[in-house]
Amino acid sequence: MIQSTWIGLLLTGIAVACAVTTLACATASTIVTLPLVPEGTPNRRPQPSEYDHLKISCGTALYPEPIFVGRTVRRTPSGELVSLLGVTAVLESHGTVHATATPTPITIKQDRNGRFSYHLVLNSDTLVYYKGDVAVGWEDVDDTAALTFQAPGCEPLRVEFKHPGQEELLELRCAEGNNPGP
């Protein structure tokens, strides 16, 4: 169901709202219209003792196309940087209810120079904290992502995703005499 306003889905006692012109978060038997953040609610995360439940509004994309662009390289014994091919990657994301903190293997397709691009799915949620029926605070929470790159004979390299679409040079440290790639 496509909605042109914010909607709320009541699921097992937790209210979840979905963003403009997106598909509903899940199917539910009860749909109610809710404001995203009640007027006058302070933009702050309250202490745990100051609230007894929260409502999560889900799913606006952080970037229209969050693309991680990189080039994997290794250093030769003479100090020259050369392409490193055959690299694998593991993705972790943290932050929203959409994130997956469990390391997940992903497929990156490299060209002969070690360049690749990977489309990430990152979201932003708004959390509204309540004490009884009164909203006592709210905050926006954005997903973050980390990718760990690995190649045989090389130390894994963990990189935080920060610059969508901007190529990052990723130098893996490889054992001398066991340097994969050209």
Q: Where are the domains of the chain?
A: 35-171
Report the pLDDT averaged over residues 4-29.
32
pLDDT in tens, 142-155: 888 899 999 999 99
Average pLDDT, the chain: 76
Q: Which of 6-15, 77-86, 115-124 has the lowest mean pLDDT?
A: 6-15
Give me the pLDDT at residue 67, please. 82
**Where residue 52 falls among pLDDT bands split at 50, 70, 90?**
very high
Cα separation, 135 vs 40, whole angstroms = 9
pLDDT in tens, 54-72: 888 766 766 666 688 999 9
Give me the pLDDT at residue 147, please. 93
* Concatenated DSSP letters of 74-96: EE-TTS-EEE--S-EEEEEEESS
Residue 179, pLDDT > 60, answer: no
